[in-house]
């Protein structure tokens, strides 16, 4: 019998149960990390809401596709992948950190006292623990901006101002966007978008988004739209607002399968890109988005602190997820 720890175990749609489970061991090539903070990803909230035994074949197909994208791990085990902590033990062959290092890492299991990872990044002292719990989502947007080849002077639209939307905003600005326009449906998030530096914000509840964007872009439309909503209506607006040769970047899971409008794609010469980030086959080790994200925070190029709206203990994890579902929070950190 190994050591025991507390972990929030995902039991069924809308329900974590904090349980005592066996602490993971320092096997070959991994570090055991004592988690200090784990931030809640929007994708975790989607998974939390889902029906795990869907009758509907579309629901089954979506779960299968998500699972396959992560190498066959059942989708509901991929929770808690945005964390930081301290290395407490290292397995044989783990050479890029030592016991006592403050780190962030790739992998899941952050909603518990300890987890393991084979891809660990030692933190510089300028990056706080709270900030480090948001390195992974920032790295996703770094990767997305690089892969979508946004260039200096581009006019950018970002649909959705959750944590990922606002990191996309800051990454686009850091990369030289000329103007960034945000569309959103929550008052809190519209306010945050302004505070973080959006050039224009559009309340999609009571404005004609496509027409307003035409006005704000001198009739040209945006060079790139990043959709961080997972909303079918936002997807339709994206295809409508893009001008000839525009780029559509899809960064979230739609909870229903959409009809793909190939005629619009062809007639407008659109470039439609899907971006499941966090898959290391898309970058070279020298331009690992985690390293770029750490550097951006260290050098004050992105703001992290204003995005953290709550820090909650592990025992309150269901409340934290419920608040995010209601759109009442920005980034929420769980402290195991
Ligand atoms: Zn995530």
DSSP letter, residue 260: P
DSSP 34-82: EEEEEEPPHHHHHHHHS-SS-SSHHHHHHHHHHHHHTTT--GGG----E
Tell me whether strands 114-117 and 155-159 are parallel, antiparallel or unpaired: unpaired
Q: Of 96 and 68, which is predicted with more confidence?
A: 96
How far, in Å, from the CA of 54 to the mean position of ligand 1?
A: 23
Mean pLDDT value of segment 38-56: 79
Residue whose entry in the numeric block shows the structure tokens 């898959």: 279
Assign 8 to helix, strand or coil: strand
How far, in Å, from the CA of 311 to the mean position of ligand 1?
A: 17
Distance in angstroms (rounded) separating the CA atoms of residues 308 and 315: 19
Distance in angstroms (rounded) separating the CA atoms of residues 331 and 176: 25
152 — phi, psi (to 5°)?
-45, 125
Angle, helices 135-147/163-174, rounded to nearest 10 degrees: 50
**Is 192 in contact with 201 (CB distance < 8 Å)?**
no
Distance in angstroms (rounded) separating the CA atoms of residues 187 and 233: 19
314, HSE (Cβ side, Cα atoms, 13 Å): 23
The residue ranges of DSSP E strands in the chain, in sequence order, are: 4-12, 15-22, 31-39, 82-90, 102-106, 114-117, 119-122, 155-159, 179-184, 200-203, 224-227, 247-250, 271-274, 308-313, 331-335
Task: Choose among 163, 216, 169: nearest CA to 41.
Answer: 163
Distance in angstroms (rounded) separating the CA atoms of residues 85 and 7: 15
* pLDDT of 187 over the 60 cut: yes
* Per-residue pLDDT reduced to its tens digit, 158-183: 999 999 999 999 999 999 999 999 99
> In Å, what is the CA distance from 59 to each residue of 52, 53, 64?
9, 9, 9
pLDDT tier at 207 (50, 70, 90 boundaries)?
very high
How far, in Å, from the CA of 277 to the mean position of ligand 1?
A: 9
* pLDDT of 316 over the 80 cut: yes
Domain covering 4-134+304-335 assigned CATH 3.90.180.10 in the classification? yes
Mean pLDDT value of segment 37-48: 89
Task: Choose among 74, 18, 73, 79: nearest CA to 46.
Answer: 79
Mean pLDDT value of segment 139-153: 96
pLDDT tier at 34 (50, 70, 90 boundaries)?
very high
How far, in Å, from the CA of 213 to the mean position of ligand 1?
A: 28
How far, in Å, from the CA of 91 to the mean position of ligand 1?
A: 26
Residue whose entry in the numeric block shows the structure tokens 């808690």: 80
**Which residues have a Cβ under 8 Å from the Cβ of 316 and sit 6 or more positions away?**
none
How far, in Å, from the CA of 40 to the mean position of ligand 1?
A: 8
Residue whose entry in the numeric block shows the structure tokens 């006019």: 155
> In Å, what is the CA distance from 223 to each residue of 26, 45, 142, 226, 264?
48, 30, 18, 10, 16
244 — phi, psi (to 5°)?
-55, 135
Mean pLDDT value of segment 76-93: 90
- What is the structure's pLDDT at 63? 62
**Angle at 48 (CA atoms; ends 190, 251), nearest 5 degrees:** 50
How far, in Å, from the CA of 236 to the mean position of ligand 1?
A: 24
How far, in Å, from the CA of 256 to the mean position of ligand 1?
A: 20
Lowest-confidence segment of 126-135, 207-216, 237-246, 322-331 by average pLDDT: 322-331
Domain covering 138-274 assigned CATH 3.40.630.30 in the classification? no
> In Å, what is the CA distance from 188 to each residue of 43, 194, 226?
20, 10, 20
pLDDT tier at 11 (50, 70, 90 boundaries)?
confident
Q: Cβ atoms within 10 A of the Cβ of 311, count?
A: 15
How far, in Å, from the CA of 2 to the mean position of ligand 1?
A: 30
In terms of pTM, does the model score above 0.85? Answer: yes
* Token reading at 118: 């084979």
How far, in Å, from the CA of 86 to the mean position of ligand 1?
A: 20
Mean pLDDT value of segment 244-267: 90
pLDDT tier at 13 (50, 70, 90 boundaries)?
confident
**Is 248 in contact with 273 (CB distance < 8 Å)?**
yes
How far, in Å, from the CA of 128 to the mean position of ligand 1?
A: 19
- What is the structure's pLDDT at 156? 98
- Every domain of the chain and the residues it spans: 4-134+304-335, 138-274
């Amino acid at each position: 019998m190994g050591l025991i720890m507390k972990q929030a175990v995902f039991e069924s749609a809308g329900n974590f149960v904090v349980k005592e489970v066996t602490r993971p061991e320092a096997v070959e090539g991994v570090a055991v990390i004592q988690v200090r903070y784990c931030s809640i990803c929007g994708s975790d909230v989607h998974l939390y809401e889902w029906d795990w035994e869907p009758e509907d074949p579309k629901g089954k197909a979506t779960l299968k596709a998500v699972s396959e994208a992560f190498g066959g791990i059942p989708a509901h085990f991929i929770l808690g992948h945005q964390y930081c902590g301290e290395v407490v033990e290292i397995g044989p062959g783990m050479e890029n950190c030592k016991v006592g290092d403050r780190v962030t890492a790739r992998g899941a299991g952050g909603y518990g006292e300890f987890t393991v990872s084979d891809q660990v990044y030692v933190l510089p002292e300028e990056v706080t623990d709270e900030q480090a719990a948001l390195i992974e989502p920032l790295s996703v947007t770094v990767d997305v901006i690089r892969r979508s080849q946004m260039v200096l002077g581009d006019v950018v639209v970002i649909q959705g101002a959750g944590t990922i939307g606002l990191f996309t905003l800051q990454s686009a600005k850091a990369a030289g966007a000329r103007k960034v326009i945000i569309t959103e449906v929550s008052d809190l998030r519209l306010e945050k978008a302004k505070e973080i530096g959006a050039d224009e914000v559009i309340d999609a509840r009571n404005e004609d988004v496509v027409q307003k964007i035409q006005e704000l872009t001198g009739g040209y439309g945006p060079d790139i739209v990043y959709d961080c909503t997972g909303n079918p209506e936002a997807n339709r607006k994206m295809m409508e607002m893009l001008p000839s040769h525009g780029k559509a970047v899809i960064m979230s899971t739609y909870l229903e399968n959409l009809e793909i409008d190939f005629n619009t794609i062809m007639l407008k010469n659109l470039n439609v890109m899907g971006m499941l980030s966090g898959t290391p086959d898309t970058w070279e080790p020298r331009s690992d988005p985690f390293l770029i994200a750490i550097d951006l925070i260290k050098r004050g190029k992105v703001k992290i602190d204003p995005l953290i709206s709550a820090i909650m203990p592990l025992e309150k994890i269901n409340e934290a997820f419920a608040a995010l579902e209601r759109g009442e929070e920005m980034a929420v950190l769980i402290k195991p």
